[in-house]
Structure 1
Amino acid sequence: MPTAKLRHLAFTARDAVGLAHFYRDQFGMRIFHTDPDGSQFLTDGVINLAIIQQALDGDVPTGFNHFGFHVDDVDTVAKNLVDAGLPEPAVRHTTRPFAEYRAIDPEGNWFDLSAHGYLPPGEQE
């Protein structure tokens, strides 16, 4: 089995723009996408860091939210997860150009699966 590559981390923040600017200014990460709600997406050229704007009417707390794997074949990984007794990964309905599927591990942690990766379009591995 090919090794999946951890390429995406996501945090929920009270001030997504301010936190993105912190990582940009302190660590040289590049902001490459902003959602209408203010969520920010940064990269160091290998890892994509999503900083999700916390919604006042939402029930998602601040802090770690999910991670994502870049895999060779989502269908094979999905089948293996189901064979292991986990729910089938769900299609992520989003306009973002990455993270095609959302899955869950045995402890209930969310993770994304992507066959094309998490870097900005045109910068894929």
Structure 2
Amino acid sequence: MTRPKLRHVAFVVRDAAKMAEFYRQQLDMDLFHVDPDGSHFLTDGYINLALIQHQLDSETPTGFNHFGFTVESVPTVADRMVAAGVPRPVTRPTDRPFAEYRAIDPEGNWFDLSEHGFLPPDRAATS
């Protein structure tokens, strides 16, 4: 099995469009997707940056939210995680095209696991 690869980080932000423009202009990142809720997704060609639009009716605070790994086999990684004493990763909602599973580390930090990567599934095959 190949080594899992860190492929995205996500922040909850107050103004995703403004933040995306900052990263595009100042750090030459490419915008590759905008969700209906206003969340913006950028890439440097290797690591993706998810700028999740803060929702006023949400209890999720702004700031760092989670990170994600691309893995060869989620079931294999999940079995290793359970053996290490953490909960088995759970399937993400189907309206989340960028990762199939959500996991948690021993200190409660969220992270995603994906076999197809962190571009939308229809674009993952071309990248």
Q: Decide: shared fold, TM above 0.5.
A: yes
TM-score (norm 1): 0.93
In the TM superposition, what whole-angstrom CA distance separates every residue of 1:73-110 from its partner, at most 9, and x where no partner exists? 11100111111111110101133432110000000000
Match for 2:79: what amino acid?
A: K
1:79 pairs with 2:79: yes
8 Å Cα contact 1:41/1:50 also seen in 2: yes
Helix, strand or coil for the counterpart of 1:55? Answer: coil
**Which deviates further from its counterpart, 18-27 or 115-124?**
115-124
SS at match of 2:31: strand
Stretches (4+) displaced over 6 A: none
Alpha carbons of structure 1 residues 13 and 91: separation in structure 2 relative to 1, 3 Å: same
Gaps of 5+ in 2: none
Question: TM-score, length-normalised on structure 2?
Answer: 0.92
Q: Which runs of 5+ in 1 are unaligned?
A: none
Alignment partner, residue 11 of structure 2: 11
Compare 100-109 and 1-10 and name the one that shifted more. 1-10
Structure 2 partner of 1:102: 102
Distance 1:63 1:28 in 2: 22
Matched, 1:112 2:88: no
| 3-state SS of 1:26 partner | helix
What secondary structure, in the 3-state scheme, does the structure 2 residue paired with 1:78 have?
A: helix
Q: Check whether the contact 1:66–1:111 (CA below 8 A) recurs between aligned residues.
A: yes
Counting aligned pairs with the same residue, the percent is 65
Is contact 1:69–1:114 with CA below 8 Å preserved after alignment? yes
Show the 5 A alignment for 1:21-100: 21-100=21-100
> What RMSD, in angstroms, separates the aligned Cα atoms of the two structures?
1.3
| 8 Å CA contact 1:45, 1:119 repeated in 2 | no
Equivalent residue letter for 2:97:
P
